[in-house]
Amino acid sequence: MSLLTVSNLQVSYGGIEALKGISFDVEKGQIVTLIGANGAGKSTTLRAISGLVPIKTGAINFDGRDITSLDTSRLVSEGIVMVPEGRRVFANLTVLENLKIGAYLRKDPQEVARTIDYVYERFPRLKERHWQLAGTLSGGEQQMLAVGRALMARPRLLMMDEPSLGLAPLVVRDIFAIIKMLAQEGITILLIEQNANAALRAADSAYVLETGRITLSGTGTELLNNQSVRDAYLGQKRERKRPAQA
Amino acid sequence: MDFIQANLPYLLAGISVGGQYALISIGYTMVYGILRLINFAHGDIFTVAAFFAVYLSATMPLIVSLPLTVVLTVVLGFVVERVAYAPLREAPRMSIMISAIGVSYLLQNLMWYITGGLAKQYVTIPWISSSVTLWGTTTKMVTLVTPVLTIILVVVLVQLINHTKIGMAMRAVSKDFETAKLMGIKIDAVISITFVIGSFLAAVGSMLYFSNYTAVTPLAGAMPGLKAFVAAVFGGIGSIPGAVVGAFIIGISENLLKAVGLTAFSDAFTFALLIFVLVFKPTGLFGEATTDKV
Ligand SMILES: Nc1ncnc2c1ncn2[C@@H]1O[C@H](COP(=O)(O)OP(=O)(O)O)[C@@H](O)[C@H]1O
Ligand SMILES: [Mg+2]
């Protein structure tokens, strides 16, 4: 059953068409990834689903309901939560405050405290550093905090915008391990990555986005083995080999 | 003893007017912190509060008119934000600045229109306006009340910002609108609350400030408004402790200048200070390096 259905989504910035009518599905409990080059429209897709940018045409359905016109606050309370590109933790708030603000719409303090414990269990580093200002954390820790903060809202759909960007290879491995763990716990994941290799390995299904259009789709494995994907995104060009990006 | 006796009135007046500047400057600094906007209309809202008190007190007892003055001032601050600033959220910074200047002139002209440009006698608030003698110096009660009340309000405000959910939301919004939205925060509501707090403090400041004077004119709030703005810049615009410290320093300095006979320079001092700060330490006493919001 699909949790999220995007149909013919179009988004423009001024005159520039960033999304030219894309359609895709996110099945409940799966990891779905959108891969594509810089500027393809990946972030725009997530920002449109989150209600951060206005939609020109198209429809977005979540759990069988039309959510196209809901504002961001309502979408968060429905369980659509995003980890933005570049982590964007609140540097002027402590680690604990960052977690608490992730639960901004939740009313029951005891349940929020329970979720904080749940997040601390998964990210012990955050517990150790709960009193520190988030701006003083390392990049990897900030990414953990951004994920933990999103979990505080108890997401049903967790959307992540390039969580591995700018992180050391070891940390990237941790991040993907966490993504798989969250999916096993029943959180549906929509993942955006330029690191196509790791994303496709983790994904149940995948879409390729090229300048505002979806050009390919399939299971993660299918796209991993697709020659044009390998040429364009996996750094395995036949004529000129480049080292894969971490 | 003579020296103290001679200078104590100035020092007391300085502390008192410093507190009044502080109550205004918090509104400037909080709005700047959240919108990166210098709210030019804030000084006029402070003056309008004085006229609310004058006109309302003409028809009702002070116990009703003064709370109502605070309420109306808060409503005015809220409405100004919703009508003149909120629609420009996505517009270039310059547009909203110009809108603020427009609101400032609009309020000034409305005050001219309603008063006919005549000075109106300010209300005499019992107890606050009564005289008190302290170490041989006679002053008004307001001189003693202001710093105490200011400190109490500032402490409450800082607690609110650092230890409540809404305060946390204000800090988050002041850092990053978009990510705050992703937390489910309604940023328009948070911005409105900021204006409400700023206008509330300006209304209280207005009552204290004008209790020192017999009359109020449409431009009577311009100078204290400007000085409160300088205090906010001096303290590091965006910083509440900075605004408060800056306001007390300015209030005390200008009165000590009067004490040593340099009355003519007391206003000029404030603006010289502004230029000095802008040239040598643009971030002010407590300001962080300006990071423009993404
Ligand atoms: N705020 C914006 N204003 C104007 N154009 C934008 C804005 N954000 C993105 N774009 C443009 O939209 C296109 C898609 O961008 P984006 O969704 O960020 O791509 P991706 O995340 O895949 O790198 C790009 O051409 C980009 O330049
Ligand atoms: Mg992007």
ipTM confidence = 0.91
The radius of gyration of chain B from alpha carbons, rounded to an integer in Å, stands at 19
CB B35 within 8 A of CB B191: yes
Answer whether residue B291 is part of any domain.
Answer: no
| pLDDT in the model for residue B178 | 95
| pLDDT in the model for residue A240 | 43
Assign residue B198 the CATH number of its domain.
Answer: 1.10.3470.10
Dist CA A126 CA A134 (whole Å):
10
CB A80 within 8 A of CB A50: yes
Range scoring the smallest mean pLDDT among A62-71, B124-133, B270-279 = B124-133
CB contact under 8 A, B172 and A52: no
Answer whether residue B1 is part of any domain.
Answer: no
State how far residue A91 is from chain B, nearest Cα, in angstroms: 8
Strands (E), B18-72: none
Q: Is A35 in the pocket of ligand 1 (CB under 6 A)?
A: no
CB A203 within 8 A of CB A33: yes
**Is the pLDDT assigned to residue A239 strictly greater than 80?**
no
Query: What sign results for the dihedral spanned by CA atoms B21, B27, B30, B33?
Result: negative
Q: Which listed ligand is nearest to A86 at the C-alpha? A: 2
Read off the pLDDT of each residue in B131-137 and give the average, rounded to a whole number.
Answer: 80
CB contact under 8 A, A76 and B184: yes
Report how many domains make up chain B: 1
- Predicted model pTM: 0.91
Dist CA B245 CA B231 (whole Å):
8
| pLDDT in the model for residue B242 | 94
Q: Which of B165, B183, B294 to probe by mutation at the A interface, max A CB count within 10 Å?
A: B183
Which of the two residues, B263 and A77, has the higher pLDDT score? A77
Looking from the CA of B275 toward its CB, the CA atoms found within 13 Å total: 4
State how far residue A9 is from chain B, nearest Cα, in angstroms: 20
Place of tokens 């000085």: B227
Reported as type and span, the H/E element at residue B43 is helix B42-59
> Is 3.40.50.300 the CATH classification of the domain at A2-87+146-233?
yes
Q: Which DSSP string corresponds to B104-162?
A: HHHHHHHHHHHHTT--EEPP--TTTTSEEEETTEEEEHHHHHHHHHHHHHHHHHHHHHH
Which of the two residues, A111 and B133, has the higher pLDDT score? A111
Q: Quote the Cα angle for B106-B207-B152, to 5°.
A: 120
From the CA of A169, how far away is ligand 2's center (Å)?
A: 20
Answer whether residue B286 is part of any domain.
Answer: no
Read off the pLDDT of each residue in B103-112 and give the average, rounded to a whole number.
Answer: 96
- pLDDT-derived band at B58 (thresholds 50, 70, 90) equals very high
The terminus-to-terminus CA distance of chain B in angstroms comes to: 58
Read off the pLDDT of each residue in B8-17 and give the average, rounded to a whole number.
Answer: 90
Nearest atom in ligand 1 to A44's CA: 17
Mean pLDDT of chain B: 92
Dist CA A148 CA A224 (whole Å):
29
Q: Show the domain range for B158.
A: 12-280
CB contact under 8 A, B184 and A93: no
Which of the two residues, A189 and B139, has the higher pLDDT score? A189
| pLDDT in the model for residue B289 | 62
**Is the pLDDT assigned to residue A178 strictly greater than 90?**
yes
Among A52, A77, A91, the residue with its CB nearest the CB of B181 is: A52
